[in-house]
Structure 1
Amino acid sequence: MEASTMSQYQEGPEIESGKTKSLLEVDGDPNKCIIRNNNAITANDDPSLTKSFASKAIFATNTTCNSFELLEKAGIPTAFIARHTEDSFVAKKTEMIPLEVIIRRYFDGSSLKRCPHLKPTEGKNPKRSSNLVFELFLKTTGGACLRNKEVLLQDVPVEDPFIINPYDETWDLYQPKQQRHEASANLEISIIAEKVLQGIQVSKIEQLTRKVFLVLEGAWKKLGYRYVDFKIEFGIDWKGHLVVSDVIDSDSARLRTPNWKDVSKQSFRDGSPLAEVEGKYNRVSILSNNLPLIPEQAIILWRGSPNDKSPEVPNISGISVEEVTLSAHKKPALVLEKLNELEAKYPQGAVIIAMAGMSNGLGPILSAQTIWPVINCPPSLDEHPEDVWSSLRLPSNVPAATVVNPKNAVLNALNILSMTNPIAYMHRQYEMEEVVNS
């Protein structure tokens, strides 16, 4: 049965066809294409292991589209334009960079063959890396690496060899599933990085890849799942911009349930019955409908006086900034009325940063009347350090926190909202990991 059309785009001739998808022209627009998934599922680059199930293309397309819609909301440049049919979507036509770009949060897959010391002991779960691991593999087909139909390298004895150091000017290629010190690991083949990159910086690829992973990790965390690792690809669109291309689905990412059960292509690689694999792809597709749903929340900068200075808050999708100036000492009834108004406006939650000089009655009163987190940030401590006590010595059932540095108060608020906003999670986690890696 033909899938119903969801977009206004008209399909043109087929451009090319691969193992799991095909590309079609868009009539009247040379800068766009239609990516159509098929029902094939592959494993270990072995054609004899390829199978199919009836709804694979629909599940893969839905998961991919939901993932890209989230990335677009996060401000990450992608090739995605719109859904087309149940098994296809419209994308920018890109010149693909022949690289498979990997990020790992947990050590699994080929990384355990290269680094067997990272294998978990019997009965234990995969080891987690506190900082994302970035890897590059040279994308080959039939032993050749091509970019825009130009052969860059040929007679490569293994598919998708591992690039030991992505920041070297010349890339030495290694077996992707062997330890580096093994005699046969070094393929004794290299390629000039610029031939592949053609002006694109590896640092830009790494930066975008980390952000893509983090926003997806944050979204799946919200659903209680572990995003183990993923593979993505990049292309250059008609404007010369680097964009995330291809697909992001259950074929290209490992996803684990709260109790560590796999719900991705790894199940197929491990020999699970095809009906069970189909059920897992369906489960991920349904869950992925939640990925683009960013809660509408707020950081409330509540001052007791116009003289109390508000800190800056970064612009993050889904997080509004509300500024309120109202004294709890002088107008307690109006304070509670305003709090009630804000709770009605933001049913998905907010964090209040209470800034009141001298005696802080604002934060304690607010925290006694709302389940929203309230962070005291007394502004007058440089001149009057004794003012801090009205924020610290609080009676029972007044659970306000106190952070004296305004910037840290904002970061604390963002950390709280990151639990439910994957874009905020991306910003905070990227910043923290960047500090560690610098």
Structure 2
Amino acid sequence: MASPPELKIGQKLSEGKTKQIFELVDQPGLVLVQSKDQITAGNAVRKDQMEGKAAIANKTTSCVFKLLQESGIKTAFVKQHSDTAFIAAHCEMIPIEWVCRRVATGSFLKRNPGVKEGYRFSPLKMEMFFKDDANNDPQWSEEQLLEAKFSLAGLTIGQCEVDIMNRSTVAIFEILEKAWATQNCTLVDMKIEFGVNVKTQEIVLADVIDNDSWRLWPAGDRSQQKDKQVYRDLKEVTPEAMQMVKRNFEWVSERVKLLLEPKASGRVVVLMGSISDMAHCEKIKKACASYGIPCTLRVTSAHKGPDETLRIKAECEGDGVPTVFVAVAGRSNGLGPVMSGNTAYPVINCPPLTPDWGAQDVWSSLRMPSGLGCSTILSPEASAQFAAQIFGLTDHLVWCKLRASMLNTWVSLKLADKKLQACSL
């Protein structure tokens, strides 16, 4: 990296086994998270220095948080500052580790004798542990968390907040699981922590997510594991063994950059029967942009210029870019059916219905001749979302945005209900 800009570092706010948190004097509400070259296991029963670990961990965390933020997950991460530090929103941390498991291994097997290693959890298995080194981070129930009545940055952790953290943990795991699958790597389990933003009083994903935070098995094979478990399993810590551990951490930090790269490219081509439909089509284009999907607008009429409509279709098919067509035609919609009957690409009808004849006109989009498979979606935004769901089957970045959007919709409803209940009391 280029030389980072100078920061006015204030007092040390906290220090953990692998990082230090400093206030930023000239940037109220922000902190500097400085990684350390230390690696630990078993609540620091085993502790060693690993030269370069701070930079590796910071690089991994920064990439992971960028992926989550670009997907739409609310996090404390602001930006990477240097090779070994990043800037984050100042949070009061909720002293709970949320653990999400896809595959049974590690401590779960010890606590649940009889379950074989490799048992797959569908849905995901959720657990929480109270951060208490003196008592080896005991497992907690939801009831214990509620009874603790934690109050952080002016926010009391109640049922609503617990539900949000639970649901968010699942979404975060699934996003990272989908991303790691593009590298033929199984995300086995993961631990994360949440904090309360001192400025907004929002619960956000905080702390770090690096190679200490998860188990990663390339090709689903534990013998190829690349995470900190290799360090935990060492019978003897030798310089050679530490080099092997470091190579694994470096492998992860290099691969994690690839999670930000799309695996497939596609586009939406909106065909409008008249330029008067432009406002309707612009809504589709704007919604496509929110999913990172390119969108092109064209004007053509299947009734008045069928040859031109089919020429545009052939042009889009000829360049090899995966395409979803959206047909925007009111009154008698011939555009969608003609396209659907002449292309193997998906076609979505999104007619701009008018108050006077809309109830009658919509049937020209709904009543398709046999052999045609185009769908009809009246909302411009929903038609873009459906196109995104199609592309999300092959592009993990689009899928991640869809998954985060689902979470954010659920959270907004949960918070609205909490506010309503508070007003009713």
Segment drifting more, 99-108 vs 378-387 = 378-387
Relative distance call for 1:162 and 1:23 in structure 2 (3 A) is same
Task: State the Cα deviation string for residues 102-151 of structure 1 (Å, max 9, x = none).
Answer: 2222223222223334424xxxxx23333233322111133xxxxxxxxx
Within 2, Cα distance between the matches of 1:222 and 1:56?
25
1:263 aligns with 2:226: yes
Question: Does structure 2 conserve the Cα–Cα contact (< 8 Å) formed by 1:213 and 1:230?
Answer: yes
Residue 293 of structure 2 aligns to which amino acid in structure 1?
A: I
Q: Who is 1:363 aligned against?
A: 340
Aligned equivalents of 1:429, 1:30: Cα separation in 2: 28
Residue 298 of structure 1 corresponds to which residue in structure 2?
A: 267
1:413 paired with 2:368, answer no
Measured after TM superposition, the shift of residue 206 of structure 1 is: 1.8
Which amino acid is 2:148 matched to? A
Q: 1:86 to 1:363 in 2, by over 3 A?
A: same
Equivalent residues of 2:100, 2:189 under 8 A apart:
yes
SS in 1 for 2:75: coil
Distance 1:338 1:271 in 2: 60
Match of 2:416 in 1: none
Give the counterpart letter for 1:28 in structure 2. Answer: D
SS of corresponding position for 1:116 = coil
User: Which residue in 2 is equivalent to 1:101?
Assistant: 98
Cα deviation code 1:355-411 (max 9, x no counterpart): 7845833134343xxxxx4246598895697733242xxxxxxxxx65467799766
Residue in 2 aligned with 1:187? none
Deviations for 1:244-297, whole angstroms, at most 9, x for unmatched residues? 111011100122212523111122223383222211111111112233345775
Give 2:131's match in structure 1, choosing from 120, 139, 153: 139
Q: CA deviation at 1:221?
A: 2.1
Q: Which moved more, 1:326-335 or 1:128-137?
A: 326-335
- Report SS of the residue matched to 2:42: coil
> Matched residue pairs, number?
374
Q: In structure 1, what is the equivalent of residue 242 of structure 2?
A: 274
CA distance change for structure 1 residues 293 and 323 in 2, over 3 Å: closer, same or farther? same
* Structure 2 counterpart SS, 1:51: strand
User: What's 2:162 paired with?
Assistant: 202
Q: Give 1:413 deviation, angstroms.
A: 3.3
Counterparts of 2:405 and 2:233, CA distance in 1:
32
What is the letter of the counterpart of residue 160 of structure 1?
Answer: D
Equivalent residues of 1:210, 1:430 under 8 A apart: no
Looking at structure 1, the residues matched to 37 and 308 of structure 2 have their Cα atoms a distance apart, in angstroms, of 62
My pick for the range that moved more, 97-106 or 402-411, is 402-411
Structure 2 vs 1, CA of residues 430 and 11 (structure 1 numbering), >3 Å: closer, same or farther? Answer: closer
> Shift of residue 28 of structure 1?
2.5
Q: What is the Cα deviation at residue 196 of structure 1?
A: 5.8
Report which stretch shifted further, 58-67 or 86-95: 86-95
Contact 1:251–1:265, Cα closer than 8 Å, also in 2? yes
Shift of 1:425: 3.5
C-alpha displacement of 1:412: 5.6
Question: Residues 268 and 62 (structure 1 numbering): CA distance in 2 closer, same or farther, change over 3 Å?
Answer: same
CA contact (8 A) 2:61 2:208 kept: yes
The answer to whether the 8 Å contact 1:5/1:84 transfers is no
**Mean alpha-carbon deviation: is it higher for 21-30 or for 72-81?**
21-30
Unpaired stretches in structure 1, ≥5 consecutive residues: 121-125, 143-157, 172-190, 368-372, 392-400
* Structure with greater proportional helix content: 2
TM-score, length of structure 1 as denominator length:
0.72
Where do residues 6-17 of structure 1 align in structure 2 (5 Å cutoff)? Answer: 6-17=4-15
Q: Which amino acid aligns with 2:121?
A: S
1:324 is displaced (CA, Å) by 4.1
| Matched residue, 1:36 | 34
- Three-state SS of the structure 2 residue aligned to 1:22 is strand
- 1:245 maps to 206
- Counterpart of 1:283 in structure 2 is 251
Deviation at 1:242, TM superposition (A): 1.6
Q: Which amino acid aligns with 2:231?
A: F
d(CA) in 2 for partners of 1:133 and 1:301? 42
Q: For residue 192 of structure 1, what is the aligned residue in structure 2?
A: 147
Q: Name the SS of the counterpart of 1:103 in structure 2.
A: strand
Question: Residue 231 in 1 paired to residue 191 in 2?
Answer: yes
Please tell me whether the aligned partners of residues 297 and 318 of structure 1 are also in contact (alpha carbons under 8 angstroms).
no
**Residue 73 of structure 2 contacts residue 404 of structure 2 at CA under 8 Å; is this kept in 1?**
no
Q: Does 1:374 align with 2:351?
A: no
Alpha-carbon distance in 2 for matches of 1:229, 1:387: 47
Unaligned 5+ runs, structure 2: 236-240, 352-360, 411-425
Q: Percent identity?
A: 26
- Post-superposition CA distance 1:181-208 (Å, at most 9, x none): xxxxxxxxxx823136752311121232
Distance in structure 1 (CA, Å) of the matches to 2:368 and 2:291: 35
**Aligned counterparts of 1:96 and 1:216: Cα–Cα separation in 2:** 22
1:82 to 79, 83, 93: 79
Q: Look up the SS of the partner of 2:368 in the other structure.
A: helix
Q: Taking structure 1 as reference, are residues 17 and 134 closer, same or farther at Cα in structure 2, changes over 3 Å only?
A: same
Residue 424 of structure 2 corresponds to residue 427 of structure 1: no
Post-superposition Cα deviations, 1:341-362, rounded to whole Å, max 9, x if no partner, equal 7987xx9754334578458331
User: Which position in structure 1 is the counterpart of 2:61?
Assistant: 64
RMSD: 3.9
Distance verdict in 2 for CA 1:204–1:376, change over 3 Å? closer
Alignment of 1:158-197 (within 5 A): 158-164=135-141, 166=142, 168=143, 170-171=144-145, 192-195=147-150
Alignment-mate amino acid for residue 132 of structure 2: T
Distance between the aligned counterparts of 2:67 and 2:366, measured in 1?
45
- Distance in 1 (CA, whole Å) between partners of 2:119 and 2:311 is 48
| SS, match of residue 33 in structure 1 | strand
Confirm or deny: 8 A CA contact 1:326 1:335 kept in the other structure.
Answer: no
Q: What amino acid maps onto 1:232 in structure 2?
A: I
Is 1:332 equivalent to 2:332 in the alignment? Answer: no
The one-letter code of the counterpart of 1:298 is: R
Give the SS at the match of 1:263.
Answer: coil
Distance 2:191 2:56 in 1: 18
Residues of 1 paired with 2:295 and 2:2: CA distance? Answer: 41
Q: CA deviation at 1:229?
A: 1.8
